[in-house]
Structure 1
């Protein structure tokens, strides 16, 4: 390792002798990457790698799991579908198959991502968890350290670093008083697959976002007895309005009308279709759904049938939890109820602060870029972020395209000094 770093020190990426030496390093623990290192092989990492390849820039993806899109493949429930129409969830340069439904299933989306990786010949380095990445000012390069199977440590040296671990890297599990006393199962939605294993049981679902609502519906469909904890206000919108997907209708209206007027129209139509949700324990925020999304990133719930189950009483709405007891939950209103299990639909968080030693671009508090959309994709010294827009796959595609264009300009400026690229990692 020390030999590797001595060879780099004081050199520049466009020095042909420097590059030639690095391509011949005998150490298997330290490798020079001529193009960007991308951390994460989810949709964000795949999109960025594809856009770079289309522009002639090679990259290396490091992925902690054993497969692409591990969150989608390993940590999502069976009934999951894309919440938005497929045209708003496509990655750059490749559309969904025409025979896919408007809202593709989880497996269809995974198949699409597998086909995407195959089309652009994207081959991540799997089972490599990035433990640290920092910019070495003396070298003028990023040093990215990963830990693989059996504890094997690798260090990659690169000119550009793309953070593609996204908003959903780690599950958020809130602390609850008395959790150790509860005795029943407490599980995050990342480990929930189907309501079949909860058939006949009373289950408390904590969190009223899209995941919490869908898990409640799934539990109902498997003859469980779910209750839903609603800790805050929430916008519930019909998935379609007047036969048109709500999200698509919103995007179209925003071309012609101001955001607040579009919000008013959405709420009027929602009330006509769904009724007053506050009557059923789901009060709406003061800000409209689109304005709230822009300011806080909080996504409105697109109803797929859960509200009807709440109205019928099949799903009961409960306030915040005060504490847990033996197979029981005490709510803030003083009531106590027995439950067999608790499902935490409490979302995810970024894990960037745990491994990226950089404080200017990313917030240490929440792991998001400090600059809000659309300016959060680019940092300094060749650092980039993709998939942190709080705008889903549409935001990911926008980021990936910008990053590839920006890196390509630097790549082309240095091309006249660069030796022909040879693959570093034979498959």
Structure 2
């Protein structure tokens, strides 16, 4: 018997509960990609270039949902466009060095069109498990009408990324806060226009928190920034070029610690001593700190000048929220009209996939970059490098190359088989 038909026959006889008539089973001849953000699109395009069919499952009803649905209006890429373009398709020459949110969204749409990538939208993966009996992945998916489909494939690519779910920390007294505005996560923030003349507490001093504060200032709000931990702030531009690009160039010639010393010296000359304004730096340099902790330095686009001028107040960690504001760990208390949590995002992998490749604690690959892209039994991860779009593109190309080697030797016969298993 043909090996594929034999596999189909075995699956049809499988007494597994998911084989009940209420669950439709679909055979996928190529990889399944979970997530249609930049990472998922990148790996799909790399597979397309190698002639490998693929299925993209996306829980939202659009591609790039984080950018389209959960990004504030003034957002721009924080790194120059040449470090953020996806494989095989550069940004248009007409785009500025730091493309806007709208420009990046148009780029993603053009990318999907260029490679004829057609995600299936409104499909939430609720479980995935490797079936050792048949050497296949079973991916259980719910649709917009609550229908359940089990997709079966040889390769599973996790592209849900680092920003799958908003991270909302718990605060003592949160239920007591009754300011005129709500406590919202930055993923729900669009513009400072609705906060005009209001006192707003922004919790989190990463790139998003700093930029939200600047946006609030530009809309005549009165923002305050919570800086709980030490953080490196670097100018976005140094010596007439991007700080990131300059760092990458210097690392080709000099050791990391020496480059860190240079970056800190220039930052001190341009920004001054950030610690005097309540923003202390880690004891190690920005690049070393990034490699050790995964935390990206803040690339300042004008926020720190507002801190210097007093337009943005700085507070330490929150002890508790009060009815009208917050009490901080240094004993100060302040009233606020609204609170915005720029506390970042987290992986959601542990909620639907249990595999030794991923940590159950944080949902990241256990192996650090650059080894975290490949697991066992045809399992892959893209978009978990903590190195932005550059890291995602690196992993996308490696995944496509790895699958292509197996595709050429073992799986070409799958292309002509019917896709639905009875």
TM over 0.5: yes
Q: Equivalent residues in 2 for 1:30-109 (5 A)?
A: 30-109=25-104
2:294 alignment counterpart: 297
Shift of the 76–256 alpha-carbon distance from structure 1 to 2, 3 Å rule, reads: same
**Residue 233 of structure 1: SS of its match in structure 2?**
coil
**Aligned pair 1:138/2:126, yes or no?**
no
Q: Is the 8 A contact 1:91 1:397 kept in 2?
A: yes
Q: Is the 8 A contact 1:16 1:419 kept in 2?
A: no
What CA deviation, in whole Å up to 9, does each residue of 1:100-157 have, x standing for no partner? 0000000100100000000100000100000000101112100000111121111100
Q: Is the 8 A contact 2:28 2:419 kept in 1?
A: no
1:382 to 378, 381, 384: 378
**Residue 149 of structure 1: SS of its match in structure 2?**
coil
2:388 to 371, 385, 392: 392
Q: Is the 8 A contact 2:216 2:222 kept in 1?
A: yes
**Residue 150 of structure 1: SS of its match in structure 2?**
coil
**Aligned pair 1:252/2:252, yes or no?**
no
Shift of the alpha carbon at 1:423? 7.5
**Aligned pair 1:352/2:349, yes or no?**
yes
C-alpha distance in 1 between matches for 2:41 and 2:291 = 26
**Residue 202 of structure 2: SS of its match in structure 1?**
strand
**Residue 370 of structure 2: SS of its match in structure 1?**
coil
Shift of the alpha carbon at 1:27? 9.0
2:16 alignment counterpart: none
Q: Is the 8 A contact 2:33 2:158 kept in 1?
A: yes
Shift of the alpha carbon at 1:183? 1.1
Q: Is the 8 A contact 1:183 1:326 kept in 2?
A: yes
**Residue 151 of structure 1: SS of its match in structure 2?**
coil
C-alpha distance in 2 between matches for 1:202 and 1:271 = 30
**Aligned pair 1:176/2:164, yes or no?**
no
2:112 to 109, 117, 140: 117
2:266 alignment counterpart: 269
1:329 alignment counterpart: 326
2:409 alignment counterpart: 413
What CA deviation, in whole Å up to 9, does each residue of 1:307-351 have, x standing for no partner? 000000000001111111111211111111110000000000000
Shift of the alpha carbon at 1:84? 0.1
C-alpha distance in 2 between matches for 1:23 and 1:220 = 60
Q: Is the 8 A contact 1:167 1:348 kept in 2?
A: yes
TM-score, with normalisation over the residues of structure 1?
0.93
What CA deviation, in whole Å up to 9, does each residue of 1:45-86 have, x standing for no partner? 000100001011110010000000100100010000000000
TM-score, with normalisation over the residues of structure 2?
0.94
Q: Equivalent residues in 2 for 1:161-240 (5 A)?
A: 161-184=156-179, 185-240=182-237
C-alpha distance in 2 between matches for 1:121 and 1:22 = 34
1:402 to 389, 398, 404: 398
1:3 alignment counterpart: none
**Residue 296 of structure 2: SS of its match in structure 1?**
coil
Q: Is the 8 A contact 2:225 2:314 kept in 1?
A: yes
C-alpha distance in 2 between matches for 1:231 and 1:349 = 19
C-alpha distance in 2 between matches for 1:150 and 1:103 = 40
Shift of the 19–137 alpha-carbon distance from structure 1 to 2, 3 Å rule, reads: closer
Shift of the 416–271 alpha-carbon distance from structure 1 to 2, 3 Å rule, reads: closer
Q: Is the 8 A contact 1:15 1:418 kept in 2?
A: no
Unaligned runs of 5+ in 1: 1-10
Q: Is the 8 A contact 2:139 2:152 kept in 1?
A: yes
C-alpha distance in 2 between matches for 1:119 and 1:280 = 48
Count of matched residue pairs: 411
C-alpha distance in 1 between matches for 2:116 and 2:170 = 43
1:283 alignment counterpart: 280
Shift of the 305–421 alpha-carbon distance from structure 1 to 2, 3 Å rule, reads: farther
**Residue 322 of structure 1: SS of its match in structure 2?**
strand
C-alpha distance in 2 between matches for 1:88 and 1:308 = 27
C-alpha distance in 2 between matches for 1:415 and 1:36 = 11
C-alpha distance in 2 between matches for 1:401 and 1:83 = 23
C-alpha distance in 1 between matches for 2:332 and 2:298 = 27
Shift of the alpha carbon at 1:17? 2.8
Shift of the 196–273 alpha-carbon distance from structure 1 to 2, 3 Å rule, reads: same
Shift of the 329–421 alpha-carbon distance from structure 1 to 2, 3 Å rule, reads: same
